[in-house]
Amino acid sequence: PKTDIVFLKVHKSASSTVMNILFRFGETHNLTFAFPLGGGYQLYYPHHFLARFVQGFSRQSPRRFNILCHHMRFLQPEVQKVVPSSAIYFSILRNPVQLMESSFVYYKGASAFSRVRSLEEFLSQPYRYYDPARGDRHYARNLMTFDFGFNPDGEVSPERVQLMLKAIEASFDLLLISEYFDESMVLLKEMLCWDLDSVVSFPLNSRDSSTKFPLPHSVVGKIKAWNRLDWEIYTHFNRTFWERIERDIGRERMRREVKALRERRAELARTCLQGTGSVAPKDIKDSSLRPLQYGGARILGYNLKQGLDRELERTCRRLVTPELQYSSLLYKKQFPPQPP
């Protein structure tokens, strides 16, 4: 199994679920994580990543970490200072239409969104609300482009787009697609030589459907045009994703693998969870399993069954522990607090 990994955690793209998979694997195999200084949750995002943002990194004795997976704005020369040169790089993309809709709800307080009632209102005259000089502008335009380290307000010429796609291809071994999450997990499992249980997961940081609204056709077109760089990235890597499946796995085997993954997930849900699945934040009984509520979204969580034996309880709890709580737990394990 591969143990040296860089995951670029792209916002609002099922990346918290992927992070849980990495946390669990790292914990099981006693791997080290490149944590943000002081145990924070982001590597000084939205600044470009620097090696010195990592707890325990020093230029004098540059130690290498196994897994880098917290939110960052990608800058490969700096990333290479904190992970072994053999590290596998991967990320996950989401359709920019759904990504922007999610971002609008979640980052409602961002400067570009705070004065509008709806996404339609914003898109009717975006430059009235969007200021390219604001430090939080990226939440409102080409968020994936920004996370990959590029300028979200860059011009969209064919040459520029090609350079950007080539740069991403040169840096990353695999780009997953969140709309095809299970197929993505099968590809990831193959690339990392992991077993099925290592990539099985429950959806984390997903929001309640009461805050989701279907978008009119006219708005979809505007979102694609406004996020043109993201759209170019997404369509290109969505295509290469399926080409890779054809080449490395084949549709028939992929179908069997996805079926096995879903069956295992359903089995774990029956074993671990009360009820049929995720519940609203107010219904989560164990406060340590309550995810951070942010912006206008209602983030769902889980209740574990009572009376599980110790080993099983531990397995189940790790599957449903929200990102921030899990990150804190692993940070304390890797950097135990000094006794006074």
Q: Would you give the end-to-end CA distance of the chain in angstroms?
A: 39
CATH number for region 5-333: 3.40.50
Separation of alpha carbons 180 and 15, rounded Å = 13
- The pairing of beta strand 174-177 with beta strand 5-8: unpaired
Query: Where residue 213 falls among pLDDT bands split at 50, 70, 90?
Result: confident
H-helix or E-strand spanning residue 7: strand 5-8
Separation of alpha carbons 229 and 179, rounded Å = 19
> pLDDT tens digit string along 4-13?
999 999 999 9
pTM score: 0.96
Separation of alpha carbons 61 and 128, rounded Å = 49
In the three-class reduction of DSSP (H, G, I as helix; E, B as strand; rest coil), residue 225 is classed as helix
> pLDDT tens digit string along 75-132?
999 999 999 999 999 999 999 999 999 999 999 999 999 999 999 999 999 999 999 9
Task: Give strand pairing partners of 233.
Answer: none
Per DSSP, helices labelled H in 193-272 are: 196-199, 217-226, 228-248, 251-272
> pLDDT tens digit string along 275-325?
878 999 999 999 999 999 987 788 999 999 999 999 999 999 999 999 999
Rounded CA Rg of the chain: 20
Query: Where residue 62 falls among pLDDT bands split at 50, 70, 90?
Result: confident
- The pairing of beta strand 5-8 with beta strand 88-93: parallel
Confidence (pLDDT) at 210: 74
> pLDDT tens digit string along 315-331?
999 999 999 999 999 99
Confidence (pLDDT) at 110: 96
Tell me the torsion sign for CA atoms 208, 99, 45, 147: positive
For residues 213 and 297, the answer to whether their CB atoms sit within 8 Å is no
Sheet with 5-8, side-by-side order of all strands:
67-68, 5-8, 88-93, 174-177
Nearest to 64 by CA among 8, 9, 2, 4: 4
pLDDT of residue 332 exceeding 80, the answer is yes
Query: Domain extents for the chain?
Result: 5-333
